[in-house]
Structure 1
């Protein structure tokens, strides 16, 4: 068998081979390729030397392919087509036909408020895409997850620092105040006196970190009583519904929590600053049409109006 050193092989010879196959003429091939006839003849000689076969022989009607050329034409055409597609970029992404996972690292807020809408939406437009949630990581581990593609996006309260990471503000998270309906509060804004008197159920904060609620109250010389500290947003309205405690939750969740647990939702008695929610991804995947499309779906769901009910009047 004739061995070919593919490392030094000139791929242009394959394009000329295909054109000779289609035209069966050095003259017509040279016209279509915008090359001189001597250049095409020289290329054919080089190709013959490389494969150890004449490939084409002269006949009355033009060039006739040899058996070796017959065997080569299919694989050569396929190889050139694949190379062309690779150089032009990836094929268009078709969401309805896609089969893959969308990996998101995020906390409870995102999982409760954005992901349900995202899963519902993808189920309609891209049913082959499965959303898989991952716990939030920090620092080098989070960077490695994005860089390797283990997660497509990280959504959290802090932008991720690192080479190649892109961050954008996904949404601004505001706060609503909930209390059981039997309190019969009719005002849209929660009364300050009750807010400072009734115990609150609050979310556990990281060490040496204070919530925006307690920071704002402290700046005003005020303090709220705490009746329970929990680790999960879902526990807050359940406890509030059983005890009459007050809880402050992201506005995106307030309506749904109020409806499900028999609570009334109100604007806080004090204006608390909105907290930005960031989405981070790695730029090595930006040219991937599927990744770009998925990032846009997360944006769209995060920017949808809050659902599940209104503030009490």
Structure 2
């Protein structure tokens, strides 16, 4: 039996393997890693030779992992976490080198926090690059499989390996076009109104946060959209209402009238969540501090 040349394995190759395993596509893995398809194929060829297994085989128009590749998922992830841990005690200076972060957030959280934060980094000379993916109602596997380094969400995933920190509390508001209608003044008017619902890819509704304190039975939404940015075009000029975080009046729903919802609701709390592998990483700690400071400035300007 051929002895495996374990010294030919390196962190970049193992990361590429995990990415292909998650994407089940060389093209998708290349796009996510920011490299060419030929570079990914070359690394897979090297891994196949080192591990003595094809790892991925053609199936129809796609690829499927071999049993060996599936069995390697968790050991490879553990090795990468250990390698990352070797750098956690390094001296960190945000002005030295490039920083790259993948963040899972829906468009409200993304647009509220990060455009201005990135401008601040550019002014300071920090070479930071962000890649955003939608979070929906996020699952812990987003972090466990290193699909992102940070989640910003009102629904943080839980687990012994998941850390979370409160970013801010907000209240819910009813948004509407004041040139067409007034705000619902009672629970009955609210229930009777036609409304816009944001429903994420995982079929979870943003309205889950609305009826925690006082359960109300709504009729079916007049419109369902996949993100918060899509609310405004339907709201404008219509009698529709939309119930969202009041801070959305600063971005996605800027220019629309808003009023408190006419019944008791719980506060809407926004969190950051991250995996234990990044907990003591100095670059990650620095980013979390900067986000918190930036959010405090946003809240002070309300």
TM-score by length of 2: 0.59
Unaligned runs of 5+ in 1: 1-85
Partner residue, 1:138: 139
Distance in 1, matches of 2:212 and 2:218, equals 9
Partner residue, 1:153: 150
Residue 289 to residue 181, structure 1, CA distance change in 2 (3 Å): same
1:200: Cα distance to partner? 1.0
Partner residue, 2:179: 182
Distance in 1, matches of 2:174 and 2:215, equals 18
How many residue pairs get aligned? The number is 212
Tell me, yes or no, if the aligned pair for 1:101 and 1:129 is still in contact at 8 Å: yes
Tell me, yes or no, if the aligned pair for 1:201 and 1:228 is still in contact at 8 Å: yes
Tell me, yes or no, if the aligned pair for 1:164 and 1:283 is still in contact at 8 Å: yes
Partner residue, 2:221: 226
Partner residue, 1:118: 117
Q: Deviations over 1:66-102 (max 9, x none)?
A: xxxxxxxxxxxxxxxxxxxx999422x3323441212
SS in 1 for 2:167: strand
Per residue, is there more helix in 1 or in 2? Answer: 1
2:241 maps to 1:246: yes
Moved more, 271-280 or 231-240: 271-280
2:237 maps to 1:236: no
- Structure with higher Rg: it is 1
Tell me, yes or no, if the aligned pair for 2:170 and 2:245 is still in contact at 8 Å: yes
Residue 89 to residue 133, structure 1, CA distance change in 2 (3 Å): same
Q: Deviations over 1:52-73 (max 9, x none)?
A: xxxxxxxxxxxxxxxxxxxxxx
Q: Deviations over 1:115-161 (max 9, x none)?
A: 2232222222243111211233523353121xxxx532122233333
Distance in 2, matches of 1:212 and 1:141, equals 22
Tell me, yes or no, if the aligned pair for 1:102 and 1:294 is still in contact at 8 Å: no
1:164-183 → structure 2 map (5 Å cutoff): 164-183=161-180
Aligned-pair Cα RMSD in Å? 3.3
Residue 214 to residue 162, structure 1, CA distance change in 2 (3 Å): closer
Residue 296 to residue 224, structure 1, CA distance change in 2 (3 Å): same
Q: Once superposed, which parts of structure 1, at least 4 consecutive aligned residues long, lie more than 6 Å away?
A: none
Distance in 1, matches of 2:95 and 2:110, equals 24
Residue 163 to residue 127, structure 1, CA distance change in 2 (3 Å): same
